[in-house]
Amino acid sequence: MNRSSGARLCTTVAVGALSLALITGCAESGSDDAKGSDPASAAPAAKALSAAELKKLIIAQGDVEGYDVKAPDAQFPASKSEVQVDKAECEPLAYAMSGLAPGESAGDARNMATEQKSPTDTASQSMQDMTEGEFEDAFSDALSVNMTAVGLSSYDGDAAATTFKSVSDAIAACAGGFTVTAKGAEQKVLKVATEKGSGTGDESVAFSASMEMEGQAAPGTVHAEVARHGGTLATYYTINMGALMTGEKYEIPAAVVDAQAAKLK
């Protein structure tokens, strides 16, 4: 791969991932971590938190060691009106993957946690001095950073449990994929599969989504999780651009999930 093709690939991959609204993941149908077969009926009535209250509860800079935390940039959809899904039953997944509330919430807040990257041995080298292999390694390594969109949304009564169930149901219903258009860019999700959730909160469910990547033969995989803490849902959506290019495995950072769960106790 030459230098110019590398830059083009970086741009192509970024745009492909951005259309799922993340910037700039088949086991059983349902999660082993979801507690109870009917969360809507089991959950106690709750009073929704406001956006201002959620803003105080969402992770912020200094809450997660080794991560920079700040508000998502303008490449994220600002609202659900900027996200269209070809299958209505898949909307909760598309919203969670955009850092948006998966249901009709009374309040919401979101931030982005980006892994801090340590310089590599090749970082100080001039591109002209690198061999082709060194350039490819440095290029993918520079992009191998976990970026996690974290969202909080709060609901009245048992709506949080009902919304959580809609996410769990959607993982099974949308196993064959769906198409989402975010901020005018179309992205095809080829497959959705259940993953092991963190077990945080009252119940949690996680999934992976394999999606088409422009300029690449193999699909890329992203990871998401939704956890219910009483009447509040926490959503996590992690993408690693370098791993999408190389096919290496990655997951939602436990440190980010644990830090957010701790603030919701």
Length of the chain: 265
What is the predicted pLDDT for the residue at 132?
55
Residue 11 CB contacts under 8 Å (≥ 6 apart), including other chains: none
What is the predicted pLDDT for the residue at 209?
97
Amino acid code (one letter) for 4: S
What's the gap between Cα 226 and its chain centre? Answer: 10
What is the predicted pLDDT for the residue at 143?
82
The DSSP-derived string for 116-182 is: --PPPTTTTS-GGGS-HHHHHHHHHHHH--EEEEEEEEE-STTHHHHHHHHHHHHHHHTTT-EEEEE
What is the predicted pLDDT for the residue at 246?
86
Report the C-alpha gap between 34 and 21 in whole angstroms.
26
46 and 230 Cβ atoms separated by less than 8 Å: yes
Quick: pLDDT tens for 25-76. Answer: 322 333 344 444 444 444 456 689 999 999 999 999 999 999 999 999 887 8
121 and 138 Cβ atoms separated by less than 8 Å: no
Q: Tell me the whole-structure pTM to 2 decimals.
A: 0.79
What is the predicted pLDDT for the residue at 129?
58
What is the predicted pLDDT for the residue at 221?
95
Ranges of residues in the chain with a pLDDT under 50 are 1-43, 121-123, 127, 134-135
Which residue is it, tokens 């909080």? 152
What is the predicted pLDDT for the residue at 137?
52
Report which DSSP code applies to 44. P
Report which DSSP code applies to 37. S
Closest CA to 39 of 159, 201, 161: 161
Quick: pLDDT tens for 194-210. Answer: 999 999 999 999 999 99
Q: Domain extents for the chain?
A: 3-263
What is the predicted pLDDT for the residue at 21?
39
